[in-house]
Amino acid sequence: MKKKKRHYSSQLYGDSIRIADMRESVPDDNYRKVIRYKSGILNEISDYSVSGLSFILESREVYIFNEQNKPSLKLRMNKKGKITDSVKYFYHDDLVTLTQYFNQGQLKRSVSNHYNETGRIDERVFDTYLGREVISYFYPAENIIETIFSPGSDIPKNKFILKFDINQRLADMENLRIKEEYGNAKLKSRWIFDYNDKGNLSNITILNSKGSISRIIKIEYSYFNP
């Protein structure tokens, strides 16, 4: 089987524009993303499809900030400039407590965040027309975060165990399925993350439920000095 390669490049122009390009083995999957900053704060993202040497605007995201320079509104527009989606952010003590997602002006989803006394998130609640989903967070050790995803009363819960290295980088993630009738959790997959000497992610090893390697993702970098 021929390995699929993706070539990603990202370059900063001054302190206000970053251009990221993704090149796939399938030409139709190529795209360009132009990210614009204002006073060091993300202001706009434009997505382009690539046709030969031409770049065709497909969509734009524009961010609007409050007095504390925190995003209060995100607008997504199509190639004709029409607003298709929007996101509203609400805060308390600089923490996001509620996020509302709109499509064509209609509220489609809301996400509520609940925090503990130290400011770490305890629970995240997703409400849609399909019902409610909840993610609960636990902190058994300084370098470990456990989350339990409850998609509904009749659907098995998923548990994720995330472990971080001394540099606070994600080093290991286990995905487990909780069987309520037995009160235990069964391993579904495990992801192991490796980093190069510059601290960038270089290798992801994915293990299946039996501990065998099912996939390896390698990431290579080319560094350019301006």
- What are the tens digits of pLDDT across the range 41-77? 889 999 998 877 788 899 999 999 998 889 999 999 9
Residue 92 inside a domain? The answer is no
Residue 73 inside a domain? The answer is yes
Judge whether residue 189 has pLDDT over 80: yes
Confidence of residue 1 (pLDDT cuts 50, 70, 90): very low
Q: How is residue 185 written in tokens? A: 């959790």
Judge whether residue 197 has pLDDT over 80: yes
Judge whether residue 145 has pLDDT over 90: yes
Residue 207 inside a domain? The answer is no
Domain membership of residue 54 as a residue range: 1-79
pLDDT given for residue 224 in this prediction: 60
Q: What percent of the chain has pLDDT over 90?
A: 62
Least Cα distance to 220 among 5, 4, 3, 2 occurs for 5
Residue 58 inside a domain? The answer is yes
| Torsion, Cα of 64, 67, 72, 74 (10° steps) | 10
Instruction: Evaluate if pTM is beyond 0.85.
Output: no
Residue 146 inside a domain? The answer is no
What lies within 8 Å, CB to CB, of 171 at 6+ separation is 163, 164, 165, 192, 193
pLDDT given for residue 154 in this prediction: 64
Nearest-angstrom CA–CA distance, 12 and 76 = 23
Q: State which amino acid sits at residue 29.
A: D
Residue 17 inside a domain? The answer is yes
**Greater pLDDT, 87 or 223:** 87
Mean pLDDT of the chain, nearest integer: 88
Domain count, the chain: 1
**Greater pLDDT, 140 or 19:** 140
For 160-177, what is each residue's pLDDT tens digit?
999 999 999 999 999 999
Residue 31 inside a domain? The answer is yes
Nearest-angstrom CA–CA distance, 151 and 202 = 32
pLDDT average, residue stretch 107-112: 96
What lies within 8 Å, CB to CB, of 40 at 6+ separation is 15
Judge whether residue 210 has pLDDT over 90: yes
Nearest-angstrom CA–CA distance, 3 and 69 = 44
Residue 32 inside a domain? The answer is yes
Instruction: Classify the C-alpha dihedral 180-181-185-189 as positive or negative.
Output: negative
Q: How far is CA 53 from the centre of its chain?
A: 30
pLDDT average, residue stretch 22-26: 64
Nearest-angstrom CA–CA distance, 124 and 175 = 18
pLDDT given for residue 5 in this prediction: 64
